[in-house]
Amino acid sequence: MDRKLVLPKRSKSWANRRRKRQNNPIPFPELFDGDTERLPDFIVQTGSYMFVDDKVFDTDELKVTFLITRLKGPALKWVIPYIEQDSPLLSDYNGFVAEMKRVFGWEEDDDFPEEEESSSQGL
Residue ranges of the chain with per-residue pLDDT less than 70: 1-22, 108-123
Predicted confidence at residue 22, as pLDDT, reads 63
Q: What is the Cα–Cα distance from 24 to 115, expressed in whole angstroms?
A: 33
- Quote the pLDDT of residue 11: 41
Question: What pLDDT score was predicted for residue 31?
Answer: 97
- pTM listed for this prediction: 0.70
